[in-house]
Amino acid sequence: MMGKKTDCRKDCQISRHLRDVPPGKLLMIRHPLSGEGCLREFSDAELLTDTGLSAGTRLKTETYMLYPGIELSYNYFLGDRFRFHHRHKDCVLSIDHCCRGRIGWEMKGGLSLYFGSGDLSFHATDKCSDSVITLPLGYYEGLTVSLDLSVLRTTLPELLRDAELDVCALCQSFCGEKETAALPASPRIRHIFSEVYDLPEKMRRPYLKLKCQELLLFLSMTGPSENTVFDSFHSEQAEIIRRIHDAMTSDLKKRYTIEELSRQYLINTAALKSVFKSVYGMPVASYMKQYRIMKAAELLRNTDRSVSAVASEVGYESQSKFSAAFKDIMKILPTDYRRQYT
């Protein structure tokens, strides 16, 4: 769901995981290897914008130490942009899976990597120990599997040892020359992660142990060469794309062409289209169509403006074209949609 980020946040399921986190705070929970007790620590979220969305930023990570050298963290984020710090060792590989929403990492060396629902990403944690995180849709739920290669070189779980898994070769395969990579959503990835987000607490640790091993065996058999790997790009390009996005969404009555935006923001058209899709997950035209319709749905729910007035407000001069676009996205005509809320 697009629309204003606040609408996405209201509708998504992430809020229930953040009921114990006040606005502007980060809660970190750690479950030790022994499985006994947990450590809870609050800190201030380091926000990078002062928008209304940022004022409601709430962040939570819950980490389970599963084996020596292997831990898994659930991540629940609502917000816009914030800085993320963490202590890191050398030779730790981070594997991230996105359940819902979209996330961008701006890492050391000026690299940016964006991925969305169902995707996997890979990077060494020294690249993100002091990074900027952007949530293009205003929310993100996912998990992180962290592999301490210095430990796993000599201490692998028995199943992975029997499979002769080489964790260093795995790291080199996905994070060798480019240092970061991401694999697009696929049925096999979906199969691995389909049940890990809603586990009963007493089942989490044993189930996550199995799933982490399944993930590593899958990656060792697959390799990035068999997939279309997303490219990382420079953070300056992502910043330009965010400014373009803000311009297009600040006044929906105005429609821009790719060529106009290219000239105005000094970015070639191919890079504009490619980086926009990487950041926001859709081509420019598809994204803006969905954004307009989600904004229209909000106006139909919350105001008494006529359908024609709403159509004009979101950039449609023809009410019939607006109705067709609305039905294409929402699977219902705007008049019938409004009737549900009156």
Q: Would you state the pLDDT for residue 230?
A: 59
Please tell me the distance from the alpha carbon of residue 313 to that of residue 295, in angstroms, as a whole number.
Answer: 9
End-to-end CA distance of the chain: 22
The CATH superfamily label for domain 288-342 reads: Homeodomain-like (1.10.10.60)
Q: Would you state the pLDDT for residue 23?
A: 92
Low-confidence ranges of the chain (pLDDT < 70): 1-12, 48-55, 85-90, 126-130, 177-179, 223-234
Please tell me the distance from the alpha carbon of residue 83 to that of residue 76, in angstroms, as a whole number.
Answer: 15
3-state helix/strand/coil string of the chain? CCCCHHHHHHHCHHHHHHCCCCCCEEEEEEECCCCCCCEEEEEECEECCCCHHHHCCEEEEEEEEEECCEEEEEEEEECCEEEEECCCCCCEEEEEEEEEEEEEEECHHHEEEEEECCCEEEEEHHHCCEEEEECCCCEEEEEEEEEEHHHHCCCCCHHHHHCCCCHHHHHHHHHCCCCEEEECCCHHHHHHHCCCCCCCHHHHHHHHHHHHHHHHHHHHHHCHHHCCCECCEEHHHHHHHHHHHHHHHHCCCCCCCHHHHHHHHCCCHHHHHHHHHHHHCCCHHHHHHHHHHHHHHHHHHHCCCCHHHHHHHCCCCCHHHHHHHHHHHHCCCHHHHHHCCC
What is the residue type of 321? K
Q: What is the value of pTM for the model shown?
A: 0.80
Q: Would you state the pLDDT for residue 7?
A: 43
Q: Does domain 5-231 have CATH number 2.60.120.10?
A: yes
Q: Would you state the pLDDT for residue 152?
A: 93
Q: Would you state the pLDDT for residue 17?
A: 92
Q: Would you state the pLDDT for residue 210?
A: 96
Q: Would you state the pLDDT for residue 87?
A: 62
